[in-house]
Amino acid sequence: MRLYDSTTLAQTAIMYGHRAAVRCCRFSPDSRRIVSGSEDTTLKLYVSLDFFFFFIYIYFPVKQNNNRWETRRHCKVATFSGHTKAVTCVAFSPDSRTVVSGSDDKTLIEWNATNAKKIAQWTKHKAPITDVAYSTDGTYLPLL
């Protein structure tokens, strides 16, 4: 993934870590973190040390750089593993404490955003999950 300044459209960072194409990404509600989902079946959580993010452009990574963003202000802090097929959608809870992910494997997983541990997994969906979001109060998870 590449980050761009939303005003100037200048590239500000490249985030490495996934071993296949990135399919989705979301900012946390406080804009301090980004979670991404990939065809490599994992999620990656990135933190901004200066707490200022920019517009994102998703691309297929062509090289690795020690699994870190190219700028020193940003770093990958966690990898979430648990899906068996591509991760197609991700979302932060309103309080940023949990992340939910949907996949082509027809499962939805809720994760602890601090330690990358699985909280719950739902496997009753009859089709690949294409989108997910928390309600504003964090009580509901609509799926597509």
Where do the domains of the chain lie, and which CATH numbers do they carry? Answer: 2-122 (2.130.10.10)
Q: For residues 99 and 111, is the Cβ–Cβ distance under 8 A?
A: yes
Please write the tens of the pLDDT for every residue from 73-102.
Answer: 556 678 999 999 999 999 999 999 999 999
Coil/strand/helix, residue 3: strand
pTM above 0.85, yes or no: no
Q: For residues 53 and 30, is the Cβ–Cβ distance under 8 A?
A: no
Percent of the chain with pLDDT over 90: 51
Q: In the 3-class helix/strand/coil scheme, how is 16-66 assigned residue by residue?
A: CCCCCCEEEEEECCCCCEEEEEECCCEEEEEEECCCCCCEEECCCCCCCCC
Nearest to 53 by CA among 92, 1, 5: 5
Residue pLDDT tens, the chain, 144 long = 777 778 888 887 777 788 999 999 998 998 888 999 999 999 999 887 554 444 343 433 333 444 433 334 556 678 999 999 999 999 999 999 999 999 999 999 999 998 899 999 999 899 999 999 999 998 888 776
Q: For residues 62 and 5, is the Cβ–Cβ distance under 8 A?
A: no
| Cα 84 from Cα 54, distance rounded (Å) | 31
- pLDDT, residue 109, reads 97
- pLDDT, residue 66, reads 44
Coil/strand/helix, residue 84: coil
